[in-house]
Amino acid sequence: MKTIPLVKRSIALPLIGLTAVWSIMMFANWFSMVSQENYDSVFKPTIYIYLLGFAVGTFSALIAQGWAVKSLVLDENDALARAALRFTVLALVIGLAATTIFALTSFLSAFNSSSQNSDVFQRFIWTYLPILLATAVVVYVILRAFVFRGASASAEGEVKPKMSERQKALALGYAVPILSTAFAIILGLFIYDATRTNLDTWVWVLIIAIVGLGVIFGTRFAARARQARVEAPRPKTALAAGAATVNFVLSIVFGAVVSIMSFTMGASAIEKLRVYPNWVEGVNEQPMPTVSAPTIQWWVQDMAPAIVLLLLAAAGIYLSITERHRKQNAAVEA
């Protein structure tokens, strides 16, 4: 394959990875049918086969992006190298999105599973570990592709500089929201497995609070990286702006989703106060529903989570926006 130009290899590799992903997915579907694996099965080996497929596709795009960057470094005016770089970045984004959806789907299926398996080791192997591995793939690929891309493309023989404070802030700006979300997911599953109670609304509140903190701190680190002074600001500033944009979009999505959840939970809590009487046979006019008085249990289990979610949405959006622009205003005033 060395006889093929590097830029053409960078275009071909994601397509080869796509073919490999398709083959792995087809094998996973066949294996699932042969092993008679269903929704409530304790042993789910196909989850690792699917994860392997997503990892193969994502890492093939990552390697191809490195080749495209090297081709562009060798000749900045090469139009094919620029097209290859755009193509590999698109393949990376698709691979990262698919892996993220896989992790979230694994979480939701495990959270809502009716399986009552109490073996902690089996739950870790078939539920927690795939989510952790998928998170590790996403974080590693993001940092490798978008944070340390310039260092990996340095010329041979050059001493690679140590990681600067700005690079650390940039890495944290990308990684903190993802890691906090993964931690919240694992913690929510652990609490659900340990309690198996009806207080699942509070579990969601805890998960959302951790995710919101991750977005806020990610925004802070991204803003710190964007305001840093470097000798060659163009590529680095673009990366920092990308991290800031990612966290800004996450904060808006976070606020919108949590607000909708708050309204939904609040309406559901109010509806639970309605008491429907039993149906009476042989009566023309049935008794009308009544409204029961709120109780402490109702406030704690039903209404309080909705209120907390609303406060989290408001605080999360406010802190994300202020953190995003706080240092810019300070720099202008100085």
Residue 162, CB-side half-sphere exposure with 13 Å CA sphere: 2
Residue at a domain's end among 157, 182, 198:
157
Q: Are residues 221 and 173 in the same domain?
A: yes
Domain total in the chain: 2
pLDDT at 137: 93
Q: Are residues 51 and 113 in the same domain?
A: yes
pLDDT at 53: 94
The CB density around residue 322, as the number of other CB atoms within 10 Å, is 13
CA–CA distances in Å: residue 246 to residues 142, 230, 241, 251, 301: 12, 22, 8, 9, 34
The domain in which residue 117 lies consists of 1-157
- Burial pattern 233-242, b for ≥16 Cβ within 10 A else e, equals eeebeebbeb
Residue 223, CB-side half-sphere exposure with 13 Å CA sphere: 21
Q: Are residues 226 and 255 in the same domain?
A: yes
Return per-residue pLDDT of the chain as tens, 334 residues: 557 788 889 999 999 999 999 999 989 888 887 776 655 566 788 999 999 999 999 999 999 999 998 988 888 777 888 888 888 988 888 898 889 889 888 877 776 554 555 577 887 888 889 989 998 998 899 888 877 765 555 544 454 555 567 767 777 777 888 888 888 878 877 777 776 655 567 777 888 888 888 888 888 887 777 776 554 444 445 555 556 666 666 777 778 888 888 888 888 888 888 887 777 676 677 677 788 888 999 898 888 988 898 888 888 877 776 776 565 444 444 4
Q: Are residues 191 and 145 in the same domain?
A: no
Q: Are residues 87 and 44 in the same domain?
A: yes
Does any domain span residue 61?
yes
Residue whose pair of structure tokens reads 């708050």 in the numeric block: 262
pLDDT at 113: 59
Which backbone phi and psi does 274 adopt, to 5 degrees? -75, 130
Q: Are residues 101 and 229 in the same domain?
A: no
Does any domain span residue 283?
no
Q: Are residues 242 and 297 in the same domain?
A: yes
Q: Are residues 199 and 141 in the same domain?
A: no
pLDDT at 42: 63
Q: Are residues 29 and 96 in the same domain?
A: yes
Residue at a domain's end among 132, 157, 182:
157
Q: Which two tokens stand for residue 238?
A: 């673009």
Dmax over CA atoms of the chain, in Å, equals 93
Reference 178, options 147, 139, 213; nearest CA is 139
User: What is the 3-state secondary structure of 59-96?
Assistant: HHHHHHHHHHHHHHHHCCCCHHHHHHHHHHHHHHHHHH
Q: Are residues 203 and 63 in the same domain?
A: no
Whole-model pTM over 0.75: no
Residue whose pair of structure tokens reads 């100085």 in the numeric block: 334
